[in-house]
Structure 1
Amino acid sequence: MTALTDVIKRGRKFDQVLEGAKTVFLRDGFEGASVDDIAREAGVSKATLYSYFPDKRLLFAKIAEIECLRQAEIAEHVVDFASPPRAVLTEVGNRVLSFVTSDFGIAIFKICVSENSRFPAIGRQFYESGPALARERLSTYLQVACDRGDLEIDDIPFAAEQFLELNKSFVFPRLLCGVQASFNHEERDKVVNGAVDMFLARYGARSEG
């Protein structure tokens, strides 16, 4: 299988194309974004656009990767490893839920699913830069919390993935099935607080409140 990095070519206007494409994707969605609109927004010709990204799916995948890495870097700077589990998990949960319910987050999931059989590299790339990276960063904190006796976890990577998935409950199925398009603060707090409570009930040390 050809890797995405073997297909995408970089050049002087590479970043310019990415910025224009991100604007169009966020405004029109993946299906509604045309190559003509992307080229116009980026201020480049279609020939230049295709020289970097021969397929619109590749362009979307690259933007998704950059966005996931950006959010991971922000979270890493915001999370204080000295803070207790409840505070850190609540912050992480809110960030996960915000991304999952964003237009961009929904679009990423849909394109990974719809294009998986024809172009599985997109899904794999998003997984590595999104869910896998989030699990890795959270696992680092969980190990610190376990070392100081705040948590008791045998399989830290698995526990991290459990927590990340808990923050999608109630919300994700409703979004994907078109049952509900938005969620208020009360609903969001219920999801995140419930995820934190459940996680700490399972993995919290006796001293954790």
Structure 2
Amino acid sequence: MNAPANVNRQGRKFEQVLDGARTVFVAMGYERASVDEIARVAGVSKATLYSYFPEKRLLFNEVYRTEILRLADSAVALSGAQPPEIALRDAARRILEYLTSDFAIAMYRICVAESQRFPEIGRAFYESGPELGRARLGAYLRGALARGEVQIDDIDLAADQFFQLCQSTICDRIICGVQTQFSEEEMMRIVDGAVQTFMARYGA
């Protein structure tokens, strides 16, 4: 995803501002997260914060973009040398760990609550999350297809389906407030089911 415009990334306190904003957005959501509180938690002045981010919206977009790129680099930057059963299982585990994190849950709720009033938040959430994940996983699947390891006609659809399989059961329970903590067995049940179902449909 392209970095948002009008953001100054030069200076030694840039990461400090991001860390403070991340903490405040997770704890308070978007609307209640004031610039004053973000500056206080980050340990910087409002002038310093504004020198990096002239708008709160830009700060939120950068926080989410930075975090999701970390996930993409670790979870969806799949090795072309690994067979799908191994690569997808590792990716599913990392994806599920992210989806059940406090940060991911907070970002999802912010997007749902604010995207009607601030459509750019919804777009940033989509571009940095589902769209980026589809591109990264799609690149791996195209390689696997060329090696004859999978049989897929619509790569983008298959990538979307895999991400949906990784969200089965657990994400619904989190969003509805039914359950917030999950055992290793519960997590691996979803991971194994996602990979087995995907490979049953698309395995060569």
Name the TM-score, length of structure 2 as normaliser. 0.87
The alpha carbon displacement at 1:57 in A equals 4.2
Shift of 1:117: 0.8
**2:58 paired with 1:58:** yes
Cα 1:199/1:34, change in 2 over 3 Å: same
Q: Is contact 1:58-1:122 (8 Å) kept? A: no
Distance in 2, matches of 1:84 and 1:198, equals 16
Please state how far the C-alpha of 1:8 moved relative to its aligned partner.
4.3
Q: Distance in 2 between matches of 1:148 and 1:6?
A: 39
Q: Which residue of 2 aligns with 1:179?
A: 178
* Cα shift at 1:42: 1.9
- TM-superposed deviation, 1:195: 0.7
Per-residue CA deviation, residues 49-97 of structure 1 (Å, 9 max, x unaligned), is: 24543554432221010011122122356x3211111101101111111
Counterpart CA distance in 1 for 2:56 and 2:24 is 12
Shift of 1:122: 1.3
What runs of 5+ residues in structure 1 fail to find an aligned partner? none
What's 1:70 paired with? 70
Show the counterpart of 2:80: 81
User: 1:108-137 CA deviation, whole Å, 9 max, x = no partner?
Assistant: 111111111111111111211221111111
> Which consecutive unaligned segments of at least 5 residues does structure 2 have?
none
Per the TM alignment, residue 145 of structure 1 is displaced from its structure 2 partner at its CA by 1.1
Describe how 1:1-209 pairs up with structure 2 within 5 A: 5-6=4-5, 8=7, 12=11, 13-26=13-26, 28-30=27-29, 33-75=33-75, 79-205=78-204
Contact map agreement 2:4 2:61 (CA 8 A) in 1: no
Secondary structure of 2:29's counterpart equals helix
| 1:109-168 Cα distance to aligned partner (Å, 9 max, x none) | 111111111111111112112211111111111111111111100001110110011100
Is the CA contact 1:90–1:192 (under 8 Å) kept in the aligned structure 2? yes
Aligned-residue Cα RMSD (Å) equals: 2.3
Which moves more between the two structures, 30-39 or 124-133?
Answer: 30-39
Percent of residue pairs identical:
53
Partner Cα separation in structure 1 for residue 113 and residue 51 of structure 2: 25
Q: 2-side partners of 1:11 and 1:84: how far apart?
A: 41
* Cα displacement (A) at 1:194: 0.5
